[in-house]
């Protein structure tokens, strides 16, 4: 079981200088996509510089991040599966959920494209073609936001994917992309991680532009009424900064090869959404 103490240990990438050990900090349970895309490396130093608060991230799949919050092993949860997030709040584990940003999912696959789906904007029809061709498909299988979305798409397609063509790795987005690249397989990826992924080999985006592929990220405070150890004041400062003009501008400024990876869409209190 991952405990709060272990979360702190996992979140420490390097040993701290003694002076920094006294710096106030929060633990954020988040997704592999926010870390592997490089967003946190860009975003968190700006927050710390503005507030003096350090952020220690435990990057796991969305399902596991929510479990960490449910166990009280994080102060803030920052993930991307709205149905799971709303259930987390409805069950009393999290409070004050807010939209932060979005991007989209894409289906990537080998340029040879054995399922003949390249150029499609219909995710469901493309998955049916992949299954019919028994073309290799890598699934994360880790209860992440990406895996949850993929499962919804298969259900919409009326398919229960099984067989040796459907390869469950039980791992993160980077692992899934590496496996797809090594085996000329299809997989579902968030665009942010795809843009930062270097080992593409023959992989290319084959399906994009479907409204189903919209990928919303949300943030919430772990409920201090359930877990009194939650650093609610510091956590609220982090959430408040994320959805403020400063935080939203920092997110918008993060680009890879000139392409923006995430699009801020927090709603300022009292200001109607655009």
Q: What is the residue-level pLDDT of the chain in tens, covering all 274 positions?
A: 445 555 444 454 444 444 445 789 999 999 988 998 999 999 999 999 999 999 999 999 999 999 999 999 999 999 999 999 999 999 999 999 999 999 999 999 999 999 999 999 999 999 999 999 999 999 999 989 999 999 999 999 999 999 999 999 998 899 999 999 999 999 999 999 999 998 999 999 999 999 999 999 999 999 999 999 999 999 999 999 999 999 999 999 999 989 999 999 998 654 443 3
CATH topology of domain 4-102+216-264: D-Maltodextrin-Binding Protein; domain 2 (3.40.190)
Residues of CATH 3.40.190.10 domain(s) within the chain?
4-102+216-264, 104-213
Whether domain 104-213 has CATH 3.40.190.10: the reply is yes
Strand partners, 26: 55
């Amino acid at each position: 079981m991952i405990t709060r103490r272990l979360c702190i240990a996992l979140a420490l990438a390097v040993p701290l200088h003694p002076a920094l050990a006294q710096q106030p900090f929060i633990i954020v349970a988040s997704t592999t996509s926010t870390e592997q895309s490089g967003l946190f490396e860009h975003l968190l130093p700006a927050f710390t510089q503005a507030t003096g608060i350090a952020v220690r991230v435990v990057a796991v799949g969305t399902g596991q991040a929510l479990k960490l919050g449910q166990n009280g092993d994080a102060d803030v949860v920052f993930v991307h599966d709205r149905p799971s997030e709303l259930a987390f709040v409805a069950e009393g584990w999290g409070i004050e959920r807010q939209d932060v940003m979005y991007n989209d999912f894409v289906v990537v696959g080998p340029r040879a494209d054995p399922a003949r789906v390249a150029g499609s904007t219909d995710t469901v029809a493309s998955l049916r073609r992949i299954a019919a061709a028994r073309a290799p498909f890598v699934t994360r299988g880790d209860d992440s936001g990406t895996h949850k979305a993929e499962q919804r798409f298969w259900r919409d397609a009326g398919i229960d994917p099984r067989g040796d063509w459907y390869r469950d790795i039980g791992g993160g987005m980077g692992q899934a992309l590496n496996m797809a690249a090594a085996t000329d397989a299809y997989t579902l990826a968030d665009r942010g991680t795809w843009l930062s992924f270097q080992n593409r080999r023959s992989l290319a985006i084959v399906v994009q532009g479907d409204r189903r592929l919209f990928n919303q990220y949300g943030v919430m405070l772990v409920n201090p009424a359930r877990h009194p150890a939650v650093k609610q004041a510091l956590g609220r400062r982090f959430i408040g900064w994320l959805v403020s003009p400063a935080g939203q501008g920092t997110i918008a400024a993060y680009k890879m090869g000139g392409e923006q990876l995430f699009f801020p869409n927090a709603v300022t209190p009292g200001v109607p959404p655009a």
